[in-house]
Amino acid sequence: MKLLLSTHPDIQITEPIVTAAARNWENGKEVMELLLSTHPDIQITEPIVTAAAGNDYCGKEVMELLLSTHPDIQITEPIVTAAAGNRKEVMKLLLSTHPDIQITEPIVTAAARNWENGKEVMDLLLSTHPDIQITEHSLRAAAGNRKEVMELLLSTHPDIQITEPIVTAAAGNRKENGKEVMELLLSTHPDIQITEPIVRAAAGNDYCGKEVMELLLSTHPDIQITEPIVTAAAANIWRNGKEVMELLLSTHPDIQITEPIVTAAAENDYCGKEVMELLLSTHPDIQITESILTAAAWNRKEVMKLLLSTHPDIQITEPIVTAAAGNRKEVMKLLLSTHPDIQITEPIVTAAARNWENGKEVMDLLLSTHPDIQITEPIVTAAAGNRKEVMKLLLSTHPDIQITEPIVTAAARNWENGKEVMELLLSTHPDIQITESILT
């Protein structure tokens, strides 16, 4: 920056530039000092001060500099909220220079949510403003944080009402502190009613769901395990899906495994295969419906492979293949290998033509296994709204495709790749008629 200012002294220093300096972790103070010395008339706006207040590394130093050079800065709620999400030192500075700051709910909530320094910042706020009102919103933020923040609030405000949304936030705590926060709430408020939303949040907690669920089941053994709870467990990603489901099936062996539960497992992108294997081993008579298979067709091939191996007589319908056409090539390849007589219909090919991520690969596969596919206007229109590669493939395999007004209109409306697709169409079909509909 020093070099640029010396070689280009007429550079205009705008608000975004000063904001970037205020946010600079390593050299924020030095860059800000340089800008203020070369451009003393810089206007220090709220976004600039907010960036300094939220600077994790040198926020205090930048803020001290700004307050010393611009003592009349107005310290607004967004600035103090940013400081509440930072280290204690920034907040301490603001409270010392502006003791009349009003501590609002957003500020307290930001402190309650502060992962690294929440307890220290909250401690400071409570010591300087003992009459702060601790709202449900702030407590929900604390319930999703480390237990120390909640512990502090419960010790200073023992009469706080612990509502269902607060306990639900603790049950769904994704920072691996769910069990600790829940234990704390249950020890201070043993009469908490454990409702379905709370148990559902624990079942879906993809970090510490098993631990929270074990705790709830041990303290409240009469909890009713409903379909939405088991569905949440089946959809739970990472390692927790299988572990939570195993726990529920061991404590409640009479759970009825319904279509929505199996569908959630089939859709589970991370541990769907493991959850499905578990369900099939404990409930071998599960009916695998079209809805379940369609969900599996949208997922990784492992889930579909499992279902096809355990249920070889499954009927593969058009909706299932259409879903696969919109997914990765591997799923379609699997279906075509196990069911070579699948009829490839227009909706299936249209779904492949529309497939943003894997359209070319899926279309290539379909054309190689079914070279007699009829490429219709809806298919080419779908391709015109996609990346250039799909259209290029269709034009190379079917050079006699008629490029109609709807196709060119779709290319013209293609936000991401319209220019490339249109260039391709014009190069292969220079006589395309550009109508008013296309231009508008």
Give the tokens for residue 363: 């279309």
**Cβ atoms 188, 154 nearer than 8 A:** yes
Q: Residues 93, 94, 99, CA angle at the centre, nearest 5°?
A: 110
Contact 281, 273 (CB under 8 A): no
Rounded to two decimals, what is the model's pTM? Answer: 0.91
Q: Report CA Rg, the chain.
A: 30
Q: What count of other Cβ atoms lies within 10 Å of the Cβ of residue 293?
A: 26
Q: Are 384 and 410 in contact (CB under 8 A)?
A: yes
CA 220 to CA 313: how far, in whole Å? 43
**φ and ψ of 264, to 5 deg:** -60, -40
**CB neighbour class for 123 (10 Å; exposed up to 12, middle 13-18, buried from 19):** middle
Tokens describing residue 78: 């967004």
Q: Is 270 exposed, middle or buried (0-12, 13-18, 19+ CB in 10 A)?
A: middle
The position carrying tokens 């957003």 is: 106
Distance from C-alpha of 111 to C-alpha of 89, rounded to nearest angstrom: 13
Nearest to 405 by CA among 435, 380, 382, 378: 435
> Do 344 and 371 contact (CB within 8 A), yes or no?
no
Distance CA(122)–CA(99), nearest Å, equals: 16
CA 358 – CA 369 distance, rounded (Å)? 17
Instruction: Give the amino acid at 159.
Output: D
Please give the distance of CA 310 from its chain centroid, rounded to a whole number.
33
Q: What's the confidence (pLDDT) of residue 440?
A: 87
Q: Looking up tokens 């702030």, which residue turns up?
A: 138
> Would you give per-residue pLDDT tens digits along the chain (440 residues)?
888 878 888 889 999 999 999 999 999 999 999 999 999 999 999 999 999 999 999 999 999 999 999 999 999 999 999 999 999 999 999 999 999 999 999 999 999 999 999 999 999 999 999 999 999 999 999 999 999 999 999 999 999 999 999 999 999 998 789 999 999 999 999 999 999 999 999 999 999 999 999 999 999 999 999 999 999 999 998 767 899 999 999 999 999 999 999 999 999 999 999 999 999 999 999 999 999 999 999 999 999 999 999 999 999 999 999 999 999 999 999 999 999 999 999 999 999 999 999 999 999 999 999 999 999 999 999 999 999 999 999 999 999 999 999 999 999 999 999 999 999 999 999 999 999 989 98
Cα(117)–Cα(85) distance, rounded to whole angstroms?
8
CB-facing half-sphere around the CA of 321: CA atoms within 13 A? 24
CB 304 within 8 A of CB 297: yes
Using alpha carbons only, what angle is made at residue 374 by residues 371 and 376, rounded to the nearest 5 degrees? Answer: 140
| Unique residue bearing structure tokens 């929440």 | 118
Which two structure tokens, joined as six digits, stand for 434? Answer: 């550009």
Angle, in degrees to the nearest 10, between helices 28-38 and 15-23 = 150
Residue 291 CA, chain-centre distance (Å), reads 25
What tokens were used for 141? 């933020």
Position 176 scores a pLDDT of: 80
What is the reported pLDDT for 260?
98
286 and 314 Cβ atoms separated by less than 8 Å: no
The greatest distance separating any two alpha carbons of the chain, rounded to the nearest whole angstrom, comes to 79
Place of tokens 């058009």: 318
Q: Quote the DSSP letter at residue 284.
A: T
d(CA 376, CA 384): 12
Residue 235 pLDDT? 97
Exposure on the CB side of residue 386, measured as CA atoms within 13 A: 25
- Tokens at residue 239, please? 């390692």
Q: Closest Cα to residue 255, out of 222, 273, 229? A: 229
- Cα(233)–Cα(181) distance, integer angstroms: 20
